[in-house]
């Protein structure tokens, strides 16, 4: 049995999904959103993100963490702030000596829908079908972390012992 955590990092909202691997099958244990205090100084948000990440790692003790890579935005300030949040998360994961894999949103969208410009509803419906969920994951952005799960599953799900 292995636990895999997928993270879609931002500064005000960070999406997580927790997947459990038992033999050759995968089950979504949970998915949710951590929110930081809105309009708070970035340093305080980073502290909140670190505390939430530390708590998550301690609670689930994952074998693997998959985190979304950043891509270029027109707004450089947002990109830099999200980079800080991402590295706070990565720092905590590295401290725990947990393996990390990274994917871009484009890689994930193409893997799920074969369309790099798929919208969130298309991705949510694909996740609902792939993971046999009763309903589409909400809030819509919470599905982002589950998409990362699917991306990992496509590339490494059949490789039993190489990663975890």
> Can you say whether the dihedral through the CA atoms of 159, 143, 28, 132 is positive or negative?
negative
92 a catalytic residue: no
- 115 part of a folded domain: no
129 within some domain = no
Q: Is 8 a catalytic residue?
A: yes
- With contact defined as beta carbons under 8 Å apart, do 108 and 150 qualify? yes
Q: Of 8, 48, 92, 144, which one is the catalytic site residue?
A: 8
89-96 average pLDDT score: 96
Q: Which of 52, 68, 92, 144 is catalytic?
A: 68
Catalytic annotation present for 161: no
| Residue 64 φ then ψ, to 5° | -150, 140
Half-sphere exposure of 13 (CA within 13 A, CB side): 10
38 within domain boundaries? yes
Flag whether 110 is in a domain: no
Question: What would the pLDDT profile of 104-137 be if each residue is shown by its tens digit?
Answer: 777 777 766 677 777 878 877 877 877 778 888 7
If you average pLDDT over residues 10-29, what whole number do you get?
A: 83
**8 domain-assigned:** yes
Full-model pTM: 0.77
Q: Flag whether 90 is in a domain.
A: yes
Domain membership of residue 6 (yes or no) is yes
pLDDT, residue 156, reads 56
The CATH number that applies at residue 146 is 3.30.420.10
Question: What's the pLDDT tens digit per position in 24-83?
Answer: 777 788 888 888 988 899 999 999 999 999 999 999 999 999 888 887 667 888 889 999
Residue 25 belongs to a domain: yes
Q: How many domains does the chain have?
A: 1
Residues 63, 81, 102, 141: which is the catalytic one?
141
Domain ranges, residue 41: 2-103+141-156
């Amino acid at each position: 049995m292995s636990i895999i955590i997928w993270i879609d990092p931002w500064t005000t909202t960070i999406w997580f999904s927790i997947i459990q691997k038992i033999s050759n099958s995968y089950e979504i244990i949970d998915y949710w959103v951590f929110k930081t205090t809105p309009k708070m100084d970035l340093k305080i948000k980073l502290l909140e993100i670190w505390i939430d990440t530390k708590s998550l790692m301690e609670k689930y003790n994952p074998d693997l963490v998959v985190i979304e890579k950043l891509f270029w935005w027109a707004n450089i300030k947002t990109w830099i702030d999200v980079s800080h949040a991402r590295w706070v998360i990565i720092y905590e994961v590295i401290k725990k000596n947990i393996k990390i894999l990274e994917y871009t949103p484009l890689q994930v969208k193409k893997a799920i829908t074969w369309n790099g410009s798929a919208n969130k509803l298309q991705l949510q419906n694909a996740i609902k079908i792939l993971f046999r969920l009763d309903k589409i994951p909400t809030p819509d952005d919470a599905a982002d972390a589950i998409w990362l799960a699917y991306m990992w599953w496509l590339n490494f799900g059949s490789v039993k012992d190489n990663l975890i």
